[in-house]
Structure 1
Amino acid sequence: MFGTLSQLSHSVFETEIKIEPISFYGCSSSEPDKPSSPPADEPRKKRKPQTCKICGKVLSSTSSYYVHMKLHSGNKPFQCTQCEACFCRKPYLEVHLRTHTGERPFKCDVCDKRFTQKSSLNTHKRVHTGLRPYACDVCEKKFAVRSYLVAHRWSHVSDGLSCPECNAGFSTKSQLVQHVKGHSNRRGFQCEVCQRRFVRDSYLIRHLNKVHKNNA
């Protein structure tokens, strides 16, 4: 638990994020996009899940972990030519450009609704299948989208003020708010259905209840 808001702010926002170089088979380069192949007589190593120390997300492999850490580095070299939005990876920029072109290449085969990216389509399909993989660890209520679960967890926050993401406890509401912002890496709160971002979690919750209410 942090003693003061200034201590919390220093811990969350002023800690330098370092991405350690990762070695692949016969390659000491820190670039994971082009790892060399293992020798023919050497069995391929089993992928080992990696947990992000910043946000707690579990990645399926070391290379996925490295790519994920770019989100926390603050480096965004790919800029949209239509607006001032910048991204840390080119695929993210390509998805964003569809908001300008109106392109929605991924179509639901049940209701014909279209989406800008495949992950959004997969999330939408849970409306038809009834799949709700995200369960509240307090009341066991299940949700189709992770952001719905995060919003729901606030209903269980008591006077003790605990983070709905990691259960960390705080003595003041301002400390809790600043801590939660740290989980979003100061880039706002994103809707996992349509990828729209919000500067406050309350705006995201209002958006979910108004726009995606039938998906919860």
Structure 2
Amino acid sequence: MRLEGMNKHIRTVHRGSRPYTCNICGKSFKGHLQQHMRLHMGVRPFECPTCKATFTQNSQLTVHMRIHTGDRPYKCQICGANFAHSSACKIHMRSHTGEKPFKCVICKTSFAQLPHLKKHMRCVHNAEKPYLCTTCCGFFQTQQELDMHKQLLHGLKKTNEEEAEQTVEE
């Protein structure tokens, strides 16, 4: 199964029904397609008053603000570690439980995190989209597509360090 097929399978089978499909990129959603369309239109109406980063959704701004406030509302029930994001706490819990829910369909190796599976697919099985967005786990065919994605979706630009690393790797 190709990575594209695996991603579609995960979206449709493991994440429930997603009846709304974007006619631009093909992604499907349970709802809020209009919010997604802001990505394609470049509309980012929610601005951080501290650093001026912009977002397509107010919820993204709310989570982003934790960077500035230091708020870490999610706590590990086992070791007491605190996290700014619920997903980070959930991933951390796997270090205690040993859970590895992401399995390679080719070689059956399991991973605790989806980005690790995607990196494995890219490095070991030479997936067609080798450029990984470490923020949202998206894959892209070219570095330029990844850079555009990071800028539009996450409001990020390459740091000098990333550019230096890319030069060293190439």
TM-score (norm. length: structure 1) = 0.50
Determine whether 1:132 maps to 2:100.
yes
The answer as to 2:72 corresponding to 1:91 is no
Change in 2 beyond 3 A, CA 1:146/1:176: same
In 1, Cα distance between the equivalents of 2:112 and 2:78?
17
Give distance in 1, aligned partners of 2:100 and 2:28.
19
- Displacement after TM superposition at 1:152 (Å): 1.6
1:56-109 CA-to-partner distances (Å, cap 9, x unmatched) read 6553x2x24443443443211111111121111111111111111111011111
Between the two proteins, the alignment pairs up a number of residues equal to: 138
* Counterpart contact for 1:78–1:88, Cα < 8 Å: yes
Higher relative contact order (CA 8 A, sep 6+): 1
Which residue of structure 2 lines up, in the alignment, with residue 171 of structure 1? none
Q: State how 1:1-216 maps to structure 2 within 5 Å.
A: 48-52=18-22, 57-59=27-29, 61=30, 63-158=31-126, 162-164=128-130, 176-178=141-143, 181=146, 185-187=149-151, 199=158
CA deviation after TM superposition for structure 1 residue 189, in Å = 10
Match for 1:126: what amino acid? R
Q: For the structure 1 residues 189 and 71, does the alpha-carbon distance in structure 2 shift closer, same or farther, using more than 3 Å as the test?
A: closer
Q: Is the 8 A contact 2:130 2:141 kept in 1?
A: no
Q: Give deviations 1:159-199, integer Å, cap 9, x for gaps.
A: xx72258xxxxxxxxx94347627x7243998xxxxxx784
Secondary structure (helix, strand or coil) at the match of 2:105 reads coil
The separation in 2 between residues aligned to 1:156 and 1:53, in whole angstroms, is 32
Greater per-residue helix proportion: 2
| Deviation of 1:110 (Å) | 0.8
Cα deviation digits, residues 16-43 of structure 1 (max 9, x gap): xxxxxxxxxxxxxxxxxxxxxxxxxxxx
Read off the aligned partner of 2:129 and give its amino acid letter.
C
Distance 2:50 2:87 in 1: 24
Q: Deviations over 1:127-173 (max 9, x none)?
A: 22222222223222111111111222222255xx72258xxxxxxxx
Segment drifting more, 130-139 vs 73-82: 130-139
Which structure 2 residue ranges, 5 or more long, are not aligned?
1-16, 132-139, 166-170
Does the residue aligned with 2:151 lie in a helix, a strand or coil? coil
TM-score (norm 2): 0.62
Give the CA RMSD over aligned residues. Answer: 3.6
- Ranges in structure 1 where 5+ consecutive residues have no aligned partner: 1-46, 166-174, 191-196, 207-216
Percent of pairs identical after alignment? 34
Runs of 4+ in 1 over 6 A off after TM superposition: none
Distance 1:198 1:148, change over 3 A: farther
